[in-house]
Amino acid sequence: MFQRKIIGELEVWASQKNRKPLILRGARQVGKTTAVDIFSKSFDQYLYFNLEKKEEAEVFNAGLAFEDFIQAIFFAKNMSRSKGKILLFIDEIQNSPDAVGMMRYFYESAKDIHVVAAGSLLESMVGKAQISFPVGRVQYLYMYPLSFEEFLLATDAHEALKLYNTIPFPAFAFSKMIQYFHKYCLIGGMPEIVQEYTEKKDIVALAPIYQGLLTSYLDDVSKYAKSRAMVEIIRHAIESVPLEAGHRIKFQGFGKSNYRSREMREALRNLERAMLIYLLYPSTSIQPPIVPDRKKSPRLQFFDTGLLNYFSGLREYYFNMEDLHSFYRGILAEHIVGQEFLSTNRGAKSKLSFWVREKRQSTAEIDFILQYGKYIMPVEVKSGKTGTLRSLHQFINLSDHPYAIRLYSGSLEKVKAKTPLGESYTLLNLPYFLAGKIYDYIGWLIGT
């Protein structure tokens, strides 16, 4: 059990005066239950219900009046409502539509109880049951695999963690931090994998755990699907995603299949609801807000780079590489940057986007755009100090601010530059491993 940043956010939630029941979202096995167990240590009483267990779900499905239901949950755990600070954790809540509907009553009639609910298939299961969480009566937090910062903490790299959180990052620590980051990129951020690695320091021994995770996701297929035919389509999608990650995709024939666009769109969106993938849509926005164009082809992001490496057979190549961008056509560098960007925002369901300009004589694409206050910040992921910035220059020529970011394998530096059209701008060259600190460095770049 290791500390996760989301525990601090749970503590902030618990201290709010007008606190609402909290829905904790995340893919299976990202550590939701463990995080709440750690969080529960600060409470006098902890009531845990796992609604995958029939006998525990029955308490929620008995059709009791709310006051009777409250008495029933305390009775079931042999506890008293009158004793101290109380945390109720409803795990796998998607198995009980009645429990989902009950969230509003906790907010209205039982504010003394801190209520957290979690589930891995919430949107898929809730959609099938045609129910929804009460609007304005619940709050959401989103949980992802371990970020690089959490990986440093979990592997007891405490000095590296201090330097990671030092802005600007000191140049003397660059080489060592790159080594830590490559290791993180190799094994990924799934808690069970990280735990096994910290105990045994054996990369080969991780293979059965990776395979077990894949098997569990395949076993979940029937829960995502609306029909038996869709089971096979989603199974194909899960098995194909690691090979298609990092690419802009077409739904028609996805994964070299004969499946139609409508079928694959539904399958991939089911996986996105389960937070196993993210579909990043392009945008032409140069001023806030970022507006994704869902009519254009999305880019596919898998939820964990370690799993991507294992399923794609890429792990053995990591030991001979110096630059992530030179590896696997640059896709791995973009992928881990995307994973780090997603993990920076747990208070909202992150929707990453990339920038495009598609004209007959001038096409351009920037890997990511991020909104920071009144700015839309272009972010390119490049190899070393070389490589053109043609697309980024096109963005700068159109933009109303003079800032841009390149994530690469080199050291931290600010550079004054000009586009071919003579537009002056400041380029922040940021090492890959600082992607998770991107918003801090944007503030540092523009002086806020």
Task: Find where tokens 């371990």 sit.
Answer: 146
Q: What percent of the chain has pLDDT over 70?
A: 92
The confidence score (pLDDT) of residue 409 equals 87
Q: Where are the beta strands (DSSP E) in 245-389?
A: 277-283, 299-302, 353-358, 363-372, 375-381
The confidence score (pLDDT) of residue 405 equals 97
pLDDT bucket at 241, cuts 50 / 70 / 90: very high
Same domain, 132 and 152: no
Structure tokens belonging to residue 184: 């993180």
Task: Check residue 81 and give left, alpha or beta (phi > 0: left; psi -120 to 50: alpha).
Answer: alpha
Domain end point (choices 142, 172, 207):
142
Task: Give the contacts of 179 (CB within 8 A, at least 6 positions apart).
Answer: none
pTM for the whole structure: 0.92
**Ordered alpha helix ranges (H), 289-428:** 305-312, 331-343, 390-398
Residue 426: φ, ψ to 5°: -105, 125
Does 1 or 188 have the greater pLDDT score?
188
Q: Is the pLDDT of residue 198 over 60?
A: yes
Same domain, 217 and 137: no
pLDDT bucket at 52, cuts 50 / 70 / 90: very high
Range of the domain at 98: 5-142
Same domain, 230 and 358: no
Same domain, 122 and 157: no
CA distances in angstroms from 425 to 19, 189, 389, 409, listed in the order given: 44, 35, 13, 21
Same domain, 118 and 152: no
What average pLDDT does range 60-64 have in this prediction? 95
The confidence score (pLDDT) of residue 132 equals 73
Tens of pLDDT along 254-269?
999 999 999 999 999 9
Q: Is the pLDDT of residue 171 over 70?
A: yes
Residue 348, in any domain of the structure = no
Same domain, 11 and 82: yes
Q: Is the pLDDT of residue 328 over 50?
A: no
Average pLDDT in the chain: 90
pLDDT bucket at 383, cuts 50 / 70 / 90: low
Q: What percent of the chain has pLDDT over 90?
A: 74
Full strand arrangement of the beta sheet holding 277-283: 299-302, 277-283, 353-358, 363-372, 375-381, 403-408, 424-431, 413-418
- Count of CB atoms situated within 10 Å of the CB of 32: 25
Domain count, the chain: 3
What average pLDDT does range 86-106 have in this prediction? 92
Q: Is the pLDDT of residue 238 over 80?
A: yes
Q: Is the pLDDT of residue 314 over 70?
A: no
Residue 133, in any domain of the structure = yes
Chain centroid, CA 23 distance in Å: 15
Q: How far apart are CA 152 and CA 177, in angstroms?
A: 10
What average pLDDT does range 324-340 have in this prediction? 74
Task: Give the contacts of 355 (CB within 8 A, at least 6 positions apart).
Answer: 282, 283, 284, 285, 286, 364, 365, 366, 368, 369, 378, 391, 395
How much is the CA Rg of the chain, to the nearest whole Å?
A: 23
Same domain, 308 and 432: no
Looking at residue 382, its amino acid is K
**Ordered alpha helix ranges (H), 188-313:** 191-200, 207-219, 221-224, 228-244, 261-273, 305-312
What average pLDDT does range 385-410 have in this prediction? 89
Residue 181, in any domain of the structure = yes
Residue 420, in any domain of the structure = yes
Same domain, 91 and 53: yes
Same domain, 302 and 182: yes
Same domain, 298 and 363: no
What average pLDDT does range 341-370 have in this prediction? 85
Q: Is the pLDDT of residue 326 over 90?
A: no
Same domain, 287 and 221: yes
Residue 323, in any domain of the structure = yes
Same domain, 100 and 201: no
The confidence score (pLDDT) of residue 318 equals 52
Task: Find where tokens 């050291």 sit.
Answer: 411
Structure tokens belonging to residue 59: 């308490």
Residue whose C-alpha is closest to residue 307's, from 221, 212, 382 = 212
Residue 258, in any domain of the structure = yes
- Count of CB atoms situated within 10 Å of the CB of 359: 8
- The secondary element (H helix, E strand) that includes residue 150 is helix 148-154
Tens of pLDDT along 102-155?
999 999 999 999 999 998 777 666 556 556 777 888 999 999 999 999 999 999
Does 95 or 315 have the greater pLDDT score?
95
Residue 84, in any domain of the structure = yes
Cis, peptide link before residue 145, omega less than 30° from 0: no
Q: How far apart are CA 373 and CA 67, in angstroms?
A: 45
Q: Give 414's strand partners.
A: 428
Highest-confidence segment of 331-335, 338-342, 349-353, 383-387: 338-342
Least confident piece of the model among 14-18, 111-115, 125-129, 350-354: 125-129
Domain end point (choices 101, 116, 142):
142
What average pLDDT does range 275-289 have in this prediction? 95
Residue 352: φ, ψ to 5°: -70, 155
- CATH number (domain holding residue 127): 3.40.50.300
Q: Are 157 and 180 in contact (CB under 8 A)?
A: yes
Does 347 or 370 have the greater pLDDT score?
370
What average pLDDT does range 368-388 have in this prediction? 85
Residue 209, in any domain of the structure = yes
What average pLDDT does range 163-172 have in this prediction? 97
Domain end point (choices 343, 371, 395):
343
